[in-house]
């Protein structure tokens, strides 16, 4: 079962050495987007040593997660490739 957006974001933040955010703090790091015609969320944040860019796609009672965790410089250079990848996804219909 999916723990929820806030719980996942705060776990991921802890993994890269950042403190938790509140529900209202999600507005700064989460944006809505569409992947293969499905509503999705893109989560981005970075600390001094590492950061994460993640796409979350709920479909048919399941939640798909696509994440890249890397040093901030790698996130910056690979961000467009990650976005191209998630925009190339095709889910079964």
Domain boundaries, the chain: 5-87
Say which DSSP state 34 is in. E
Q: Give the integer Cα–Cα distance in Å for 78 and 1.
A: 30
Give residue 2's pLDDT band: very low, low, confident or very high (50, 70, 90).
low
Contact 20, 41 (CB under 8 A): no
Q: Give the integer Cα–Cα distance in Å for 54 and 86.
A: 10
Provide the whole-model pTM: 0.91
pLDDT in tens, 19-41: 999 999 999 999 999 999 999 99
Q: Give the integer Cα–Cα distance in Å for 38 and 27.
A: 20
Pick the CATH number of 5-87 from 3.80.30.20, 3.40.50.2300, 3.40.1000.10, 3.40.190.170: 3.40.1000.10
């Amino acid at each position: 079962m999916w723990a929820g957006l806030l719980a996942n974001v705060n776990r991921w933040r802890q993994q890269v050495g950042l403190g938790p955010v509140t529900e209202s703090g999600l507005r700064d790091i989460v944006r809505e987007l569409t992947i293969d015609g499905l509503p999705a969320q893109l989560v981005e944040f970075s600390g001094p040593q590492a950061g994460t860019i993640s796409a979350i796609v709920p479909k048919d009672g399941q939640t798909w997660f696509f994440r890249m965790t890397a040093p901030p410089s790698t996130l910056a250079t690979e961000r467009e490739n990650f976005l191209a990848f998630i925009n190339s996804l095709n889910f079964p219909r």
